[in-house]
Structure formats: C-alpha cells, structure tokens
Structure 1
Amino acid sequence: MRSFTLFLSLFILISISSCGEATKKEEKETSEESVENENSAQQKKKVILFFGDSLTAGYGLEQGEGFPEILQEKIDSLGLSYQVVNAGLSGETSAGGKNRIDWVLKQNVDVFVLELGANDGLRGIPLEETRNNLQQIIDFVREQNPDIEIILAGMQIPPNMGQDYTSEFKAIFPELAKKNEVHLIKFLLEDVAGNPDLNQQDGIHPTVEGQEIVADNVWEVLKDVLQNKKDTQM
C-alpha cells in the first residue's frame, strides 16, 4: 500500500511537471506568434516620407513636436495603417536634397512629401537652379516608384531679394505641381509665417503651436491623398 501511494505521488508529480512544461512551451509559442504578427503588422504599414529642411526636422523643438510627428498622432487616432518617416535636415537646400535622395529612398515609400526650397530663397540661389533641383528630385522619386503619391509643399520668402525674385520664387511650386501632376500645399506656413506668437525668436521656425497649424495645412492635402489610395485599393 505504501509503495502504491509513493508510486501515485510520483505519477502526479510527473504529470504536473509535464503539464507545466507544456504550458510554458505553449506560452512561448503564443508569445513568438504574437511578436511575429506584430512585426508583420508593422511591415504592412505604408510609409509617408517627409523630405525637407529644418521646418520638417522640427528645428528648435523637442523630439516629437514637429508637424510630421503631429500628423503621425492624427493618423494613428484615425486607425490608418501609415508610418511617418521624418527625413528633414536642418539647413538643407534643394541641391543638398538632390544629392541625398538616393539613399533616403532605399526603403519602400507610398507617399512622398517634398518640402525644400526655402533655404534656396533665403540665400538668393538662382531660381532656375532651385527649379531644376526640385524637378530632378521629383523625377528620381517617380523613377524609383511610378505609383508613389507626391505632395509638394509650396514656399514663400520675405521680399529681401526684391519683388521680382520673391514673386518668381513663389511661382516655382504651383508650376512644378501642375507640370508633374503632383499634389500641392499652396503655402506650408500659411497663418504661421510673420506671426511672432507662432514663431521662435529667429522669426523663421514655428513654435509648437505654429507646428500644429502647419500640420493642419499639410493634412488638408494629405487626408485626400490617403483617402484616394484607400478607395483605389477597395
């Protein structure tokens, strides 16, 4: 009887141990499957790439306070499967953008937002040079992905360089948008430029509040682009 009791105890102990190991194995497999599903979901997210200068980079602000990051929050709140990539670089000119576009586009991009030219205008770079650089960037992006949606951010500058230069600079963006059939944000800094309450001390770069308005300006165009892409996939 004593031997039987000991045998029964050992049998129960072994059974419990086996169940424990099976449970751990099952939990591990479930965890691994969850991670794989999460990674897969991340990979399935479409990419919106913001390619620009200090305005895109969020100069003078904390990380996450720039308009691309604000737009990511809006996109997430709407349950849209898009990942925002901020490829802004302070001080960037159209020539600099043309030189680095090849390695920036090594990832898959579905929507490309081009925000360059302001530094060209402030430095008085010849207008034809700015125009050609922006055109070459657009051409390169389309060559890499003919189905990509391109949004061009229109820019304006103060009349420091003279009225003719200022007017012709402003005209570059709608002309390029029409020629290339890309989406246009008429003026990225609409309702922000020139307002000291919405700009940092340099009078050029938006504050956090200013970035919120810039995000709204971009969203006015971006939301339709995302909706159109959604409709074409249904």
Structure 2
Amino acid sequence: MKSGYAACRHAMQWAISLVALLALLPAFAQAPSAAAAASPAPRTVLVMGDSLSAGYGMAASEGWVSLLGERLAREQPGWQVVNASISGETTAGGSARIVAEVLRHRPDVVVIALGANDGLRGLPLAEARRNLARMIGASQHVGAKVLLVGMRMPPNLGPDYTAGFESNYRELAELFDTALLPFLLEPIALERAAFQDDNLHPTVAAQSKLLDHVWPALEPLLD
C-alpha cells in the first residue's frame, strides 16, 4: 500500500515538473528573439567611388575601403562599410545609381569619391558639378551625412579647367554643408613607387596611407 502510494506520489511530482517545464518553454523560445531585437542594427558607411576605391589591380580585401571595414570593426563597433565603387565609374554613373543605392542600404554616412574619370575625359565642369550635387542631395534626403572626396587634375587640360575642377568640390561642400577631403591621393601623389605600372592606380602598399588620409575626415561623422 505504501509502495503504491509512493509510486503515485512520484508520478504526480513528475507530472507537475513536466507541466512547469512546458510552461517555461515559450519564454526560452522567445528569449533569443528578444535579445536579437534589443541589438541595434549595424550603421552603414556607403562608399560611392571609382577604381581608386574599388581596389583596381588587387584583391578586393586589399583596397582602402576594405581596410576601412576592418578599422570600423576594431574602433567603431556597430558600424559596417558597403563598397558600391565601380572601376571606370563617372559622376554621371554615380548620379544614375545613387537613389537605388541609398534606398537599398539606408546609409548613415555616404562617401562620394568620384570625378577622376570625368576629368580624364574633359567632361564639362558644370555637368560634373550637377552630377555630384544630385548624389549629395539624394544622400542627405535619406538622412545620411556626406563626406565629399575630391580629386585634382594634371595641368594638361589648361589652368582654368584644373582650377575649376578642384573648386567644384569645395563649392559643393560649402553649398550642401558636407565634410570635404580635397584630394584623395594627396599623401602619395608625388611618390611614383606608390602607383602601379599605369601610373594611375595606387599599389597595395599605398592603400593603408589612403585610409589614414581619409579617416580623420570620416571619423567625426561616425557619432
């Protein structure tokens, strides 16, 4: 009789424990979702550039934009970089793509590093200016801060074009109140060894110098 009672009591205790465990399962199942919801989505730096930012002549992981992604992971957790740069890109191409890119990625910061190919082709300055203005406007429309990265042209197109090309960036930065880095290649421009055989594209070894040059202009925007 006692043994039967003990067995019955043990079975009831087991059943009660099972019910309690089942009651807790929904909470356990929801816990990861709640934690995931509490983790903020990464903030995004979108880079719109040409071959100088796309890593021409090297593995994608070796370019300055990829190195930027690594620095963000170390020094600015919660930030990521999306490199939408294309070799051969012009300001017209960037202007045509910008709306789709900012709507797709919803960036917090947009780095616009275009114009070199326009200058090499002698594109009228007013056209380049209009294209860059559209890119800045679209970026600011989605709430992104903008870092405008300028280029400089050799004097073979004439002093007026060279001066106007450079001033385009400065005037646009003032007009739209954006951050400005006047010349992407400034730290290596006079170092022939820093360029590949075409004397246009920086080497792998020069990429860290480019990043170190961009970083002081970009970092204040990552707040």
Normalising by the smaller structure, the TM-score range is 0.7 to 0.9
- 1:210 matches 2:202: no
Shift in alpha-carbon separation, 1:36–1:136, aligned structure 2, 3 A = closer
* CA distance, structure 1, for counterparts of residue 120 and residue 73 of structure 2: 35
The correspondence of residues 1-234 of structure 1 with structure 2, limited to 5 A, is: 40-42=39-41, 45-106=42-103, 107-142=105-140, 144-145=141-142, 147-226=143-222, 230=223
CA-atom RMSD, angstroms?
3.1
Structure 2: state its 5+ residue gaps: none
TM superposition outliers: structure 1 runs of 4+ over 6 Å? 25-37
SS at match of 1:89: coil
Shift in alpha-carbon separation, 1:27–1:139, aligned structure 2, 3 A = closer
TM-superposed CA distance for 1:82, in Å, is: 0.7
TM-superposed CA distance for 1:185, in Å, is: 0.5
Q: TM-score, normalised by structure 2?
A: 0.82
* CA distance, structure 1, for counterparts of residue 120 and residue 139 of structure 2: 25
TM-superposed CA distance for 1:193, in Å, is: 2.1
Q: Which amino acid aligns with 1:211?
A: Q
Q: Which amino acid aligns with 2:203?
A: T
How many residues align? The count is: 221
SS at match of 1:112: strand
TM-superposed CA distance for 1:27, in Å, is: 9.3
Structure 1: state its 5+ residue gaps: none
TM-superposed CA distance for 1:136, in Å, is: 1.6
- Contact preservation (8 Å) 2:139, 2:145: no
Q: TM-score, normalised by structure 1?
A: 0.78
Q: Which digits, 9 at most, give the CA deviation of each residue in 1:199-232, with x for residues without a partner?
A: 1111111112211111111101111222xxx3xx
